[in-house]
């Protein structure tokens, strides 16, 4: 099985320093829904791994998070694609949980759910913590320059084998070419 792990905010949709707190605030990055459809057509199962500390901070509730994800699923479906699963960490940063990236807990859950070793599984993110979670689970870290990506690249300290792409569409072009 071919699997790919995507971060949500800054990779699939535009990010916000004030959090994405409603379906109305969730706006896809142009080309991202179509890139996910191309992944599906190339035989990839697409899963999302996203920190959603806004839940733990009481900025929005689980019903709202589910509504945001429903909009994401519908947007991707309208482009001819699908997201197979969404894994999320709802905890605030100070909760010291194992699932919040950069810790590998969410990636370990994905590996267990799919009964798969994540070695060399592409994992696309826009922040250092996305790349660190990928690296610690053996996945292939891929940075996109959308969202926080340009700042992440400028700050340095990326895992050694990190691949860098303009956006999700460019990363997908490279993967399926």
- CATH 3.40.50.1000 for the 2-176 domain, yes or no: yes
The pLDDT of residue 118: 97
The pLDDT of residue 50: 98
* Mean pLDDT, rounded, for 140-154: 98
The model's pLDDT over 43-64, given as tens digits with 9 standing for 90+, comes to: 999 999 999 999 999 999 999 9
Q: What tokens does 18 get? A: 């004030």
Q: What gap in Å lies between CA 117 and CA 90, rounded to an integer?
A: 25
How confident is residue 163, by pLDDT bands cut at 50, 70 and 90?
very high
Q: What gap in Å lies between CA 142 and CA 53, rounded to an integer?
A: 23
Q: What are the helix (H) ranges across 79-148? A: 105-113, 128-136
| The one catalytic residue among 7, 15, 130, 167 | 7
The pLDDT of residue 167: 98
Q: What gap in Å lies between CA 46 and CA 168, rounded to an integer?
A: 13
Q: Is 7 a catalytic residue?
A: yes
The pLDDT of residue 171: 98
Compute and round to an integer the Cα radius of gyration of the chain: 15
In contact, 124 and 148? CB cutoff 8 Å: no
Q: Is 63 a catalytic residue?
A: no
Domain residues of the chain, as ranges? Answer: 2-176
The pLDDT of residue 160: 93
The pLDDT of residue 84: 98
The model's pLDDT over 102-135, given as tens digits with 9 standing for 90+, comes to: 999 999 999 999 999 999 999 999 999 999 999 9
Q: What are the helix (H) ranges across 25-167? A: 32-41, 53-56, 62-78, 105-113, 128-136, 149-155
């Amino acid at each position: 099985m071919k699997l790919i792990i995507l971060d949500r905010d800054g990779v699939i949709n535009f990010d916000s320093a004030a959090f994405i707190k409603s379906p109305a605030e969730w706006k896809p990055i142009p080309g991202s829904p179509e890139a996910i459809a191309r992944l599906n057509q190339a035989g990839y199962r697409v899963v999302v791994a996203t920190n959603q500390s806004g839940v733990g901070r009481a900025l929005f509730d689980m019903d709202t998070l589910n509504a945001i994800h429903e909009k994401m699923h519908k947007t991707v479906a309208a482009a001819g694609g699908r997201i197979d699963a969404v894994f999320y960490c709802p905890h605030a940063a100070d909760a010291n949980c194992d699932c919040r990236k950069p810790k590998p807990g969410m990636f370990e859950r994905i590996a267990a759910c799919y009964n798969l070793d994540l070695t060399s599984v592409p994992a696309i993110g826009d922040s250092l913590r996305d790349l660190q979670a990928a690296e610690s689970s053996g996945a292939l870290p891929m940075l996109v320059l959308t969202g926080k990506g340009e700042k992440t690249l400028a700050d340095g300290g990326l895992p050694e084998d990190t691949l860098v792409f303009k956006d999700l569409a460019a990363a997908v072009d490279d993967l399926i070419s």
